[in-house]
A = this chain, B = another copy of it.
């Protein structure tokens, strides 16, 4: 069964559309594990026959595990650029998978909360995503999935090095855990640089959600562990968890400070952003993300009865270029995307208003 990527654009992402702990600040929690098949060349070695075998074995193991209720499969080499970009925009594949090999594929559960990339840099990368800040539940879920697969797949594992991976930076646990945070309060009060410095010193990475060169767009930041070796999964998660907890406390304080001391500035900032989102007819990606950030803050501050943060969360995904193009059913110029983006936002907010 093959799924067409455009089928996804109207289906809500459970990890953004549902409620979760601390979701006023934490949009989602994600953990991915890198795994490889024992005694099989890594995908980079380019042994097509071996990789096709890996793909079939991995797909069988995943299907048999019953971890996914309604699995969707995507044959990556068969997709065009816009379709692959859509999967990237939905966090279902990595940037590397924009140039897949002939045996690359993606399998994901219908609600997109569980997914596996096959034949990326590693034979297998599995991920679980949940709304809000909930590292332990997500860990339990991905761990169970991993256990089920390990009963069917002979993993490459070394007693000293742990799980063997294509890139040494993933050796050991093969785990990357991250929490996506919305930090407009810290951004407005100029504290992001300090937060970055502190998290860096503690061995964590903090980067913009939309990747290189878009660090500040939407005030969305992803905080993740840097190292995978020398600590247990539990230790990594505990450290990440305690730092994210601190950042959330700081962000709340910043929001409260702004609300108490700069209320008209805040109201004006949020109100204008909503005005432009609700009534504009052309909007660039950067302005859209920053305005959505202001709107999300306003929703949390109780300024809007008709909009909820999950609507804003989904717009953060849906305003991206490939989402707009697949929705329109054709390639769009940058200017046409600005118009489509404004239309999507306007109509989404208008529909909410009407309720």
Contacts and interface: CB of A to CB of B under 8 A. Distances in A.
A344 interface: no
A272 B276 CA distance: 5
Given A264-B339, A339-B264, A342-B268, A275 B280 contact: yes
A57 B227 CA distance: 95
A208 interface: no
A272 B271 contact: no
A217 interface: no
A59 interface: no
Interface residues of A, number: 17
Q: What copy number does this chain have within its complex?
A: 2
A282 interface: yes
A277 B278 CA distance: 12
Contact of A279 (B264, B265, B272, B281): B272
Interface in A234-280: 264-265, 267-268, 271-272, 274-280
A276 B274 CA distance: 8
A274 B264 contact: no
A284 B35 CA distance: 59
Contacts of A267: 281
Contacts of A276: 272, 275-276
Contacts of A339: 264
A274 B275 contact: yes
Nearest to A298: B279
Interface string A332-344: 0000000100100
A217 to B, nearest CB: 20
Nearest to A271: B279
Interface in A281-325: 281-282
B278 A279 contact: yes
B275 A278 contact: yes
A270 to B, nearest CB: 8
A332 to B, nearest CB: 13
A292 to B, nearest CB: 14
A278 to B, nearest CB: 6
A268 B278 CA distance: 11
A281 B275 CA distance: 11
Contacts of A279: 271-272, 274-275, 278
Which of A278, A279, A339: most chain B Cβ within 10 A? A279
A262 to B, nearest CB: 11
Closest 8 CB pairs of A and B: A275-B275, A275-B279, A268-B281, A267-B281, A271-B279, A268-B282, A272-B280, A275-B276
16 contacts: A264-B281, A264-B339, A265-B282, A268-B280, A268-B281, A268-B282, A271-B279, A271-B281, A274-B279, A275-B275, A275-B276, A275-B277, A275-B278, A275-B279, A276-B276, A278-B279
Given A271-B279, A272-B276, A275-B276, 14 more contacts: A264-B281, A264-B282, A268-B282, A271-B280, A272-B275, A272-B280, A272-B281, A274-B279, A275-B275, A275-B277, A275-B278, A275-B280, A276-B276, A278-B279
